[in-house]
Amino acid sequence: MDKNDIYLRALTPADWEGFRAIRIRAVNMHTGYVLVRPDKTENQTSKYWKEMLDDKGKKVFGLFDKDKLIGITTVFTWNKDPTGKTGIMAMNFIEPEYRGKGYSNFLYEACIGFAKNYFKWDKLTIGHRKGNEASRKGIINHGFQFKETEEIEWPDDTRDIEYRYELNLRGLR
């Protein structure tokens, strides 16, 4: 693994199979930390996966080691803001053997960069489950400010706290 071979790029509909495979792996590996059930992820159609990558008001990025997809992240309009002025960063995942090497910076920088230039949004939000210290550190290190907590039903059939953070995009422009 040579650091010079690691790069990030936006995924396109042509990448849907690799995106699907890594997302299913991420959801199955971390069911307690994601907001979707593994069976729902696995049962999505090819049309769903291609539309996720269609670049219409959202962006999915892939982290690569040469031509191997080793991580993903996405940014899209948050459906909990009825004004449509909030983006959400989600689906952050890096294969275990690539963790702890600073590659998550690529994911944050790409999503924040997209969000700053997507003028429909005034802020970017992100969240993590109680106890997910790695996510908390990454979120704080990239300038997000704590906003609130909410007890929610997680896909592993438990209720637990989600911590939410915001980044003021207007202040970054």
For the chain, the domains span 3-172
How many CB atoms are located within 10 Å of the residue 69 CB? 17
The list of the chain residues with pLDDT below 50 reads: none
- pLDDT of amino acid 40: 83
Structure pTM?
Answer: 0.92
> Cα separation of 59 and 75, whole Å?
6
Average pLDDT, the chain: 92
- Token pair listed for 82: 């009825």
Residue located via tokens 């693994």: 1
- pLDDT of amino acid 151: 94
- pLDDT of amino acid 128: 93
- pLDDT of amino acid 30: 76
Classify domain 3-172 by CATH architecture. Answer: 3-Layer(aba) Sandwich (3.40)
- pLDDT of amino acid 125: 97
